[in-house]
Chain A
Amino acid sequence: MRRYLSYIGLFIVVLLLQVYLFDNISLGIYFHPLVYVAFIILLPLKFNHGGVVVLSALMGLIMDLLTGMAGLNVLALTTAGFVRPMLVKFICGYGGVLSEPIPMINRVTPKRLLLYIVAMVAVHSGVYFLLESLSVMHLLHTLLRLVVSGAVAVFFVWIIVRLFIDKIMVKL
C-alpha cells in the first residue's frame, strides 16, 4: 500500500513541479526542461509494459490539459514509456540489475542509472521539441534546444531520482 502511495505522491509532485516551477521559468526558448518524465523513469524496472504505456498516456493527458498542448505531451511521454523496457534491457541487462531475481532501480550502478536517465530524457524531449517546432527551418535551433533543455532536465531528473531512491524507496 505504501508503495502505491509513494508512486501516487511522485506522480503528483513531478506534475506540480513541471506546471508550477519549470514551465514558469522565463529564461528563453532554449531553457525548457521537461522533468515529469522522472515518474516513468522511476516506475519499477519490471513493471508491466502495457501499464507503463497507459500511465505515460495518463500523465501526458493531464499535462496537455494543464498546459494547453493538445496531445503533444501524450505523444512524447507515451513514446518514452513505450521504449522504456528496451532501454532498461539495453542499459541494465547484461550483467546488470536485470539479472537479479527482483531488479530494483536503487541497485542500478550510478553510471548505468545516469545513462538510463539520459536516454529517457533524450527520447521524451526529442519527440516533444521536434513535434512542437514541426519545422525543418529551425532544425538547428530545435537541436540546440534539445541539448540545453535536455541537459538541464537530466540534472533535475537525477536529483528527483536520487531523492526518491534515497529518501522514499529505502523506507518501503
Chain B
Amino acid sequence: MYKLIEFLRRTYVVLLFVLIQAIALYVYSGSTSYTRAKILSQTAGLTGGVQGLIADVKSYFGLSSQNEVLARRVAELENELDIYRQQEAAAELAAVTLTLSDEESAEPVRQYEYDVARVISNSINSPRNYITLNKGTAQGITPNMGVVTPDGCMVGYTIACSENYSVVMPMLNVDFRNSGKLEGDNRIGAIVWNGVDPSHVTMNELPDYAQPSVGEEVYGSGLSHYFPVDMKVRIGYVESFTKGRNQTTFDVVVRLATDFSSLDYVVLVRNKSFDEVTQLEQSVKQTEKK
C-alpha cells in the first residue's frame, strides 16, 4: 500500500497529464462540425456582446463599400421588380378577356423566406472556419438556411442556432459540402475547399461535356435545397482547370466571389420545404440500402 502511494506520489503528474490528454483526444476525435458549431452557438451568448461591438467598429469603417454593394443590389432588384410589374400589367390585361377560377387566382404560397443578419465573428485562419451571426431562433433563424452576401454571392449555410446567435458553415471549411455549375450549363461538380487558400475553392468531378473556360462564372446548382433553384447564387469565376483522375471529368479551380475577410451583413434564405425534401430523400436512400 505504501509502495502504491509512493508510486502515485511520484507519477501523479504523468498520470494526470495522460488522463487529461486521453479525455481531450476522445472529445476532439469524436467531434464533428456540427458539435463544434453547437458549442460556438451556445457560448456566443458570452462572447457575442463584445464581438458585436468589434463588428460595429469594423462596420463603421466599411460603410462606404457596403453602401455601394447595397445600392448595386437595389438597382438589380429594381430591374427584377420592373419585370414583375410588366408581367402583372400583362396579366391584368388578360383578365379583361379571361375569367380566372378562384383556385387559379389564389395567391401562391411562398416557399422561400429571406432575412438579414450581421456577422459578429468570422475567421479564415483555420481549416475549419465558422461564422457567427447576431440572430438566432428567437429572431426566426433556424439550421439549414442558406447564407449569401447582399450582392448574391454564396457564403454557406447555418448549422446551429441558440436563442440569439447562429453559426454558419462557410465555404471556407473543409467539411463544407455543396455543388456548383457553370453559367448556362446544368452539369454539376462538387464544391470543396482544400483548407489552405481562402480565396479559392475547387469544383471537382465536373463532367467534361461542360467545357469550362477561364473567367466563366460558377453558380450554386440549387440542388442542395438551401437556395431556390432559379436563384443565381454566385460562387466565383473559373481560374484554371485540369482533367480529373478518371479523364472524364474536370477539376476546376474557382476564384471565390465572396471576400470572407470583410463580411458584414448577410442574407439568409429559408426553404420552408427543406426538412420535407431532405427527409424524403433520406428515406429513399435508406430504402435502397435495404
Contacts and interface: CB of A to CB of B under 8 A. Distances in A.
Interface stretch (B117-125, B139-147, B212-220): B117-125
B124 A70 contact: no
Contacts of A138: 127, 194-196
Contact of B13 (A20, A26, A53, A132): A53
Interface string A29-68: 1111000000000000000011001100100100011111
Given A50-B16, A53-B16, A79-B21, A26 B36 contact: no
A57 B43 contact: no
A69 B126 CA distance: 11
Given A28-B125, A32-B126, A75-B21, A68 B43 contact: yes
A20 B50 contact: yes
Interface residues of A, number: 38
A78 B17 contact: yes
A82 B54 contact: no
B125 A31 contact: yes
Nearest to A25: B125
Given A20-B54, A53-B20, A75-B21, A70 B39 contact: yes
A74 B51 CA distance: 23
Contacts of B100: none
A69 to B, nearest CB: 7
A29 B24 CA distance: 24
Interface string B191-209: 0001111100000000000
A68 B40 contact: yes
Nearest to A135: B195
A133 interface: yes
Closest 4 CB pairs of A and B: A71-B28, A68-B40, A70-B31, A26-B261
Interface of A: 19-20, 23-32, 49-50, 53-54, 57, 60, 64-72, 74-75, 78-79, 82, 131-133, 135, 138, 141
6 contacts: A66-B43, A67-B40, A71-B28, A78-B17, A133-B127, A141-B196
